Structure 1
Amino acid sequence: MEQRVSLITLGVDDLDRARRFYEQGLGWSPAHTADGVVFYQLAGIGLALFGRADLAEDARRPIDGRFSGITIAINQRTEAEVDAVLAQARSAGATILKPAERVFWGGYSGYFADPDGHVWEVAHNPQWTINDDGTLTI
C-alpha cells in the first residue's frame, strides 16, 4: 500500500460554529461544501468537517467522550510562526492545552483544542523542511 494520507475528517457538534472557527478564526477557505460537510484543501491533503453524529453513524463507532489518542499537526518554519498560530487559534476560540515550549526531540511545540475538542499540535522541527508549497519533507 502507498504511504499517504488523503483526507482527515473531523466530527463536529455544530458545523456552522466549526466553519466560523476555521474560516473566520484561522482564515481558511473551503474548497467545496455539500449538505452537512465542508472540505478544505491543505498542502497535499484535505480536511473535512462533518457532523459528529453523522460521522459516528457512518463509521459505526459510538460517541463515548474519550480522547481518541489522535492529534493533527501543523508544522511551521520557525518558533515565531508556532507562537503566532497558537495566538490566532486562541483568539478564534481554541483552548490552549500546552503553551509552546522547547521539547525533548529538539523542536518547539504547543497544543490547542478546537471548539469540538480536536487536538492540534503546532510545531517547529528544525530537522524537517516545510517546502514552498507547504508540504512537509521528513
Structure 2
Amino acid sequence: MDQRLSLVTLGVRDMNRARTFYESLGWKAWKESNEHICFFQTGGMVIGLYPLSNLLADQGRPEAAPNAGGITLGINVVAREDVDREMTQVLEKGATLLTPPADTPWGGRTAYFADLDGHPWEITWAPMFPLGANGALILP
C-alpha cells in the first residue's frame, strides 16, 4: 500500500453550512459537488464533505454517535506568524477555538480549532518540515 493520505471525508450535519464555511476560507469546491457531496482539492489530497447520517450508514454504523475528536486534520504553514493569522481567519468564519496559538517545546508553533461540525484541526508551523512549492509537506 502506498504511504499517502488521499482523502479525508468529514461527516457534516448541514451540507450547505459546511460548504459555505470552507468556501469562505477561499477553498474552491470541485465542479461536480452538489447538495449530497462536496470535494475540495487541497494540494495532493482531497477533503470531502458528506452528510453525517450517510457517512455513518456507509460505515455500517447508522445508529452510532459521531466521534468528532477521533481525528486531527493538519494544516502546515510556511512561517511562524502564519499560525496566528490563519487561526484568526478561521475563527472569524465561525470556527471554535480549542487551543490558542502557542510556541511548542520542539521549536514550532501550533493551535487547534474545531470546524462547524466539531472536527478538530491543527494549524502548525514546523521549521523542521519545510513545505514544497506546491504546499506539500516535505518530511526530511
TM category (shorter chain) comes to over 0.9
Structure-2 residue corresponding to 1:38: 38
The aligned length equals 137
Structure 2 vs 1, CA of residues 46 and 65 (structure 1 numbering), >3 Å: closer, same or farther? closer
Verify the 8 A CA contact 2:68 2:120 in the aligned structure 1: no
Correspondence 1:1-138 to 2 at 5 A: 1-24=1-24, 26-31=25-30, 32-61=32-61, 62-138=63-139
Greater Cα shift, 121-130 or 101-110: 101-110
1:91 and 1:68 mapped to 2: Cα distance?
Answer: 22
Q: Which whole-Å deviations, capped at 9, do the CAs of 1:17-38 have from their partners, x for residues lacking one?
A: 00111002x1111023045000
Task: Provide TM-score, normalisation by structure 2.
Answer: 0.92
1:54 partner amino acid: N
Verify the 8 A CA contact 1:11 1:50 in the aligned structure 2: yes
Verify the 8 A CA contact 1:101 1:108 in the aligned structure 2: yes
1:117 deviates by: 0.1
Verify the 8 A CA contact 1:77 1:130 in the aligned structure 2: yes
1:37 and 1:74 mapped to 2: Cα distance?
Answer: 22
Q: Sequence identity, in percent?
A: 39
2:80 partner amino acid: E
2:19 partner amino acid: R
Q: Which whole-Å deviations, capped at 9, do the CAs of 1:55-78 have from their partners, x for residues lacking one?
A: 000011343244442100000011
1:44 partner amino acid: G
Verify the 8 A CA contact 1:100 1:110 in the aligned structure 2: yes
Verify the 8 A CA contact 2:10 2:50 in the aligned structure 1: yes
2:47 and 2:121 mapped to 1: Cα distance?
Answer: 13
Gaps of 5+ in 2: none
Verify the 8 A CA contact 1:95 1:112 in the aligned structure 2: yes
Gaps of 5+ in 1: none
